[in-house]
Structure 1
Amino acid sequence: MFLGTYEPKLDEKGRIILPAKFRDELAGGLVMTRGQERCVYVFTTREFEHMHDKIRQAPVASKQARDFVRVLLSGATPETPDKQHRVTIPAALRGYAGLDRDLAVIGAGSRVEIWDASAWQTYLAEQESAFSETAEEVIPGLF
């Protein structure tokens, strides 16, 4: 499970060093793709394959499902960390998420999200009151 927030820097070649707590899970390979709210999603290869199995069950007749699958999968790229635990974020994904030098890499349970640091701070500030007011109906049985 991926947890926490880290603040690595993007180097001049578009690479980041994976946070130490994420390295073991991602060492065997990962898949990066467009995330919602203009971030980059990072999945273990196994998790992405599991998610793809579920996506394949979506009805082809559903325009919303087709649109989601197209956006998600057309941006997907497999990567393998190098010996220094670095991965390259493809230019198209960097552009999509507006990534510059300062990043926020967050653990989101089954995935990692890579955000531009200032975009993450803005998002977090905007969501704080909604988070504080979340009722049990949103995630039944949580509290």
Structure 2
Amino acid sequence: MFLGSYEPKLDEKGRVILPAKFREELSSGLVLTRGQEHCIYVFSAREFESMSDKIRQAPVTSKQARDYMRVFLSGASAETPDKQHRVTIPATLRAYAGLDRDLTVIGTGSRVEIWDATAWQTYLAEQEAAFADTAEEVIPGLF
């Protein structure tokens, strides 16, 4: 399970060093793809395969499902970390997420997200008030 927030740097070759706590689960391979809110989703190869299986079960007659599948899968890139635990983020994904040198990498349970550090701070500031004000059951059975 991926948890926590980290602040690595993007190097001049578009690589990021994976946080130590994420390395074991991602060491045998991972998939980077477009995430929602202009971040990059990072899945272990196993989790991405499971997610792909679920996506393929969506009816081909659903325009919303087709649109989601196209955006999600067309941006996907299978990668393997190098010996220094670095992963290259393809230029198209860096541009999509607006990545600069300063990054925030967060664990969200089954996946990792890579954000431009400024974009993450803006997003978090916007969401914290709503998080604190949540008065009803947003996640069934949680509260």
TM-score under structure 1 length normalisation: 0.98
Query: Does 114-123 or 124-133 show the bigger shift?
Result: 124-133
Q: Secondary structure at the match of 1:16?
A: strand
Superposition deviation, residue 136 in structure 1:
4.1
Amino acid in the other structure paired with 2:20: A
Quote the Cα distance in structure 2 between the aligned partners of 1:85 and 1:134. Answer: 38
TM-score under structure 2 length normalisation: 0.98
Give a deviation string over 1:71-111, Cα, whole Å, max 9, x none. 00000000000000000000000000000000000000000
Amino acid in the other structure paired with 1:93: L
Q: Give the fraction of aligned pairs with identical amino acids, expressed as a percent.
A: 82
Query: Does 101-110 or 133-142 show the bigger shift?
Result: 133-142
Quote the Cα distance in structure 1 between the aligned partners of 2:135 and 2:2. Answer: 24
Task: Give the match for residue 94 of structure 1.
Answer: 94
Matched, 1:12 2:12: yes
Amino acid in the other structure paired with 1:59: P
Query: Where in structure 1 do 4 or more consecutive aligned residues deviate above 6 Å?
Result: none
Superposition deviation, residue 20 in structure 1:
0.3
Task: Give the match for residue 110 of structure 1.
Answer: 110
Task: Give the match for residue 57 of structure 1.
Answer: 57
Q: Which ranges in structure 2 are unaligned for 5 or more consecutive residues? A: none
Quote the Cα distance in structure 1 between the aligned partners of 2:136 and 2:110. Answer: 22
Quote the Cα distance in structure 1 between the aligned partners of 2:140 and 2:79. Answer: 36
Superposition deviation, residue 134 in structure 1:
2.1
Aligned length: 143
Q: Which ranges in structure 1 are unaligned for 5 or more consecutive residues? A: none
